Chains A and B, each alone.
Chain A
Amino acid sequence: MALFDVSGFKSYAELRGQILPAGRTHLVDRTNHYNFGTKTQEFSVPVGVDPSGFLKSCSSEDGVSIDLNHGTTTLAFKFRHGVIVAVDSRASAGRYLASNDVNKVIEINPYLLGTMSGSAADCQYWERLLAKECRLYRLRNNHRISVAAASKLLSNMMLGYRGMGLSVGSMICGWDKQGPGLYYVDDNGTRLSGRMFSTGCGNSYAYGVVDSGYREDMTVEEAYDLGRRGIAHATHRDAYSGGVVNMYHMQEDGWIKVCKEDVSELIHRYRKGMF
C-alpha cells in the first residue's frame, strides 16, 4: 500500500529478522507429540545473544578474560548434632583477586542455608530467587518448605537453562520434619542427597581432610574444628580459595553463625602438625 511504503513502516517479521540471527529464531522447545495440555514453557533469553557462545568467546587467553573459575572451597557435613556448613571467602576473576571477603552463604530463612560456588552472579541471583520461592511456599501452604523440595526447586531452575552457560555449585542445608537435610545442586541439574559434600576447585583437598577426620559421634566442638580445618587446608593448597572461614551450624531450632576466622591465622595455629 502506498502509505506503508511512504511511512517507512517495517513489519515485525522483518524487524525480527534483523535482530535475531538467521536460522534460530524460535527459542521454544517443542516435541511433536501431545503435550498433555500444559502450556509450553518459555524462558527469557536476551534477544540476539547466544549465551554459551558469548561465554566461550570471553574465555580466551588474549585480552580481557571473563574466566568463570570455580574459585572456591565450600563444604558441609551432617553429624549427630546437625549440619556444619563452612565456606571460604575469596572471589577471583581469572587471575585477578576481586575480593577476599565475600559471603558465600545465603541465609534463605532461619531453617535453610544455601552455599555458593562457581559464578558469583549466577549463584547470588538464583539462590535469591530460591529464597523468594521458599517464602511464597510458606505463605501459600502455611508450613515451611522441606529441604528436599527447596533443592528440587533450585535444580529445576538449573535444568531450565541447561546448556546456556550457567555456573552454579550449591549445597542446600536445612532442618525440616525429616531431620537435618543436605543436598548438592549444580548447574547441569545434578541433585544429590548425602552426608557430606564439598564444592569448588578446592573440594578435593577438603574431602581429604574431612573424610579422614570424620566420626558420626563427634562433639559439637570437634565438628567445628573439622569444618575449620577442611577449609583452612584447602585454602592452603588451592590458590583460588582463601580469605576467611565462615562457619554455620544448622540445629533443630535454626542455624547459628559460629565463626569468621582468617585462614592464615588458622594455618599458623595448625603449623606444628603440618611441617
Chain B
Amino acid sequence: MEYLIGIQGPDFVLVAADNVAASSIIQMKHDYDKMFKLSEKILLLCVGEAGDTVQFAEYIQKNVQLYKMRNGYELSPSAAANFTRKNLADYLRSRTPYHVNLLLAGYDDTDGPGLFYMDYLSSLAKAPFAAHGYGAFLTLSILDRYYRPDLTRDEAVDLLKKCAEELNKRFILNLPSFTVRLIDKEGIRDLEKITLGTK
C-alpha cells in the first residue's frame, strides 16, 4: 500500500514517500507526511503497521535530539541508522515488536551522502537506491536500469518521476501524490510534490 523511495547521488540524497494514510479500504488522509526529521541533515522515512510507525519514529527522533543536547554534536547518518537498527532488533523478540520498514537518508560532512535501508526484521544495508512497499516490485528494476552513481539532481528527480509514472500506470492502488525532499550539504530541502492524474 505505502511506498518509499530513495536515490543517492554524488553529493545529495533524494527521497520520496506517498501521501496516503489508509485504514482498510478508506483513504483517511491525502496529505500525510511519512518523513521524520531526525536532525538538520538526516531524514527518517517510516511505513508499516498503524501506530507503530509514528511511535517508533518519534522515539528515534527524540533520542537523536537528546544525543545532540547531551554531547553538543549531532549523530552522523551512519550512527543514527545503526542506533535505529539496534532498537528494532532489541524489540524484535520482545512482547511488542515494531512492524516498521524504514529508509534513513542523510548527509555527513566527512563521509558525504548516505542512504540506509532497514526493514522490520532489523536488517540494515547501505544502498545507492532503495524502495519499500508493493510499489518497490515495480520500480526497483527501473532504478537498476537507469541509475548511475554520477546522477545530477535534475536527472535524479526525472528518475523519480519515471518510477511514479510506472506506479500510476501499473500499480492497482491509487497513489495520487508524493512528497519529495532533497538532502545535501545545505540541509533538507522540500521539492515540488509529484502529483499524477489518472491515465
Contact = CB atoms under 8 A, between A and B. Distances in A.
Contact of B66 (A36, A192, A197): A36
Given A31-B87, A184-B28, A192 B51 contact: no
Interface in A169-223: 184, 186, 188-192, 194, 197, 203-204, 207
B21 A192 contact: yes
A190 B55 CA distance: 9
B95 A29 contact: yes
Contacts of A184: 28
B28 A197 contact: yes
Interface string B116-145: 000000000000000000000000000000
A186 B28 CA distance: 12
Q: Is the interface of B mostly helix, strand, loop or mixed?
A: mixed
A159 B50 CA distance: 10
Interface in A30-63: 30-33, 36
A189 B90 contact: no
Interface in B68-116: 86-87, 90-91, 94-96
Contacts of A86: none
Contacts of B11: none
Contact of A194 (B28, B52, B66, B95): B28
Given A32-B90, A36-B66, A189 B54 contact: yes
Contact of B50 (A27, A31, A190, A197): A190
B29 A192 contact: yes
Contacts, number: 52
Contacts of A188: 49-52
A72 to B, nearest CB: 15
A203 B26 contact: yes
A192 B50 CA distance: 11
Contacts of B29: 192, 194
A226 interface: no
A190 B53 CA distance: 9
Contacts of A158: 51
A163 interface: yes
B146 interface: no
Contacts of A190: 21, 23, 50-51, 54
A189 B50 contact: yes
A162 interface: yes
Given A192-B21, A203-B26, A163 B96 contact: yes
Interface string A227-263: 0000000000000000000000000000000000000
B25 interface: yes
B28 A189 contact: no
Nearest to A207: B26
Contact of B25 (A32, A159, A192, A204): A204
Interface of B: 21, 23, 25-26, 28-29, 32, 49-52, 54-55, 63, 66, 86-87, 90-91, 94-96
15 contacts: A29-B95, A30-B94, A31-B90, A31-B94, A36-B63, A159-B55, A162-B96, A186-B50, A188-B50, A189-B50, A190-B50, A192-B28, A192-B29, A204-B26, A207-B26
Given A188-B52, A190-B21, 17 more contacts: A27-B95, A29-B94, A29-B95, A30-B94, A36-B63, A159-B51, A162-B96, A186-B23, A188-B49, A190-B23, A190-B50, A190-B51, A190-B54, A191-B54, A192-B29, A192-B32, A204-B25
User: Can you list the 5 inter-chain pairs with the closest CB atoms, starting with the nearest?
Assistant: A189-B51, A188-B51, A31-B90, A190-B50, A188-B50
Interface of A: 27, 29-33, 36, 155, 158-159, 162-163, 184, 186, 188-192, 194, 197, 203-204, 207
